[in-house]
Amino acid sequence: MASKRKRVVLSLADKLKIIEQLDKGVTGKKLSEIYGVGQATISDIKNSPILCEKAKILAEKLGYSSFEASNGWLRNFKFRHGVRELDLAGEKLSADSAAAENFIEKFKTASESYDPEFVYNADETGLVWKALPKSSLASKRESSASGHKVSKERVTVLNCANSTGNHKLPLLLIGKSRNPRAFKNVKKLPPLQLCLPNGKEGSKVLLIVDNAPTHPTAELLERENGQFKTTFLPPNVTSLLQPMDQSVIETMKRHYRRQLLRKLLIEGAEDEELVLENHSKINLKDCCYMVAEAWSLVTAVTCVE
């Protein structure tokens, strides 16, 4: 019969040392042997928020020696003060700030000969066009809230506007079906109302796009009349420099969600079953109308912020 491991209580100083050693690359197995604890304990320390450790330090300095920064305390603290936990991942973490600054300096020189109204930016985004909210409010008397199957129906939308925000091109929407059933007998989908720059036909146009491998080459984009120039953003700077990523696309999606929920609530009133039934009937044609309306609601101020 295996002997029971002696319970080891690690001090705050020990836990901080373990965190430092984990940051330096020391394995959990090695640390468990050094400190005489299980690997699960090391894993818990690794996943324990630094906020708890800082709270203990502050409590000790204030004279509260018996304070325990438990997971329950942390959860309640975050709830009271509106603290969110974000993953340190994605484009912004890997963004190349030096490349971004270098591009900005070169772009200032390259764009000097262009009218700001003819400097455009385009970017595509995925839109899960039937997605409903994942959370809901409930009264204290309600122990749970009914759910719904998460929709994964997705289209790709291309947004394009000029740098002054007074000209937004019609959206390009790409779906999966070549001939969607919803478009049967539809002669024309709603175009956006355009606000074209006046009296400047024939001006040179500069288009800024990111360097995604799916994008056409500059030669293909510039083949029309010699007045069209394309500039590609360097790798790993999209989150820093892509104008459409600086709240423009996000704002359009918010307007779209509002359009979707309004359609469900107006047509379904307060009957939950009818709301879900109407949701199942929403098709790609409805999506086109709603996303066009959402794009029209994006203001020039949002485009230039």
Is pLDDT at 41 greater than 90 in this prediction? no
Average pLDDT over residues 102-127: 91
Cα distances (angstroms) measured from residue 144 to each of 135, 191, 206: 11, 43, 54
Do 29 and 116 lie in a common domain? Answer: no
Do 174 and 204 lie in a common domain? Answer: yes
Alpha-carbon gap, residue 33 to 53, rounded angstroms: 23
Would residue 218 count as lying in a domain?
A: yes
Would residue 139 count as lying in a domain?
A: no
Buried b (16+ CB within 10 A) or exposed e, 63-75: eeeeeebeeeebe
Do 75 and 127 lie in a common domain? Answer: no
Would residue 92 count as lying in a domain?
A: no
Do 185 and 300 lie in a common domain? Answer: yes
Average pLDDT over residues 2-7: 58
* 163-184 pLDDT tens trace: 999 899 999 888 887 777 877 7
What pLDDT is recorded for position 121? 93
Which tops the pLDDT comparison, 85 or 122?
Answer: 122
Token pair recorded at residue 117? 């109204």
Do 76 and 106 lie in a common domain? Answer: no
* 56-113 pLDDT tens trace: 777 777 777 777 777 677 667 766 666 555 544 555 555 678 888 899 999 999 889 9
Show the domain range for 293: 97-133+151-304
SS3 label, residue 37: coil
* 209-264 pLDDT tens trace: 988 888 888 888 887 667 889 999 988 887 788 889 888 999 999 899 888 888 88
Do 22 and 125 lie in a common domain? Answer: no
Would residue 145 count as lying in a domain?
A: no
How many domains is the chain partitioned into structurally?
Answer: 2
Would residue 221 count as lying in a domain?
A: yes
Token pair recorded at residue 269? 């009133």
Alpha-carbon gap, residue 261 to 246, rounded angstroms: 25
What pLDDT is recorded for position 278? 81
What pLDDT is recorded for position 162? 92
Q: How many residues does the chain have?
A: 305
* 131-164 pLDDT tens trace: 876 654 344 444 444 555 667 788 999 999 999 9
Token pair recorded at residue 21? 């050693």
Sheet arrangement for strand 119-128 = 172-174, 154-162, 119-128, 205-209, 228-232
Average pLDDT over residues 275-279: 79
Would residue 285 count as lying in a domain?
A: yes
Q: Tell me, what CATH number does 286's domain have?
A: 3.30.420
Is pLDDT at 187 greater than 90 in this prediction? no
Token pair recorded at residue 218? 């500059």
Is pLDDT at 18 greater than 60 in this prediction? yes
Do 111 and 31 lie in a common domain? Answer: no
CB contact at 8 A, 154 and 286: no
CB atoms within 10 A of CB 9: 6
What pLDDT is recorded for position 156? 92
CB contact at 8 A, 18 and 29: no
What pLDDT is recorded for position 144? 43
Do 66 and 155 lie in a common domain? Answer: no
Do 172 and 200 lie in a common domain? Answer: yes
What pLDDT is recorded for position 42? 81
Token pair recorded at residue 65? 């020696």
Average pLDDT over residues 110-132: 90
Would residue 86 count as lying in a domain?
A: no
Mean pLDDT score across all residues of the chain: 77
Do 36 and 116 lie in a common domain? Answer: no
Alpha-carbon gap, residue 237 to 241, rounded angstroms: 6
Which tops the pLDDT comparison, 290 or 41?
Answer: 290
Do 66 and 198 lie in a common domain? Answer: no
CA dihedral 99, 102, 107, 110 (to 10 degrees): -120
The amino acid present at 86, given as its one-letter code, is L
What contacts 184, CB < 8 A, 6 or more positions away? none
Do 155 and 35 lie in a common domain? Answer: no
CB atoms within 10 A of CB 116: 13
Would residue 87 count as lying in a domain?
A: no
CB contact at 8 A, 43 and 28: yes
SS3 label, residue 130: coil
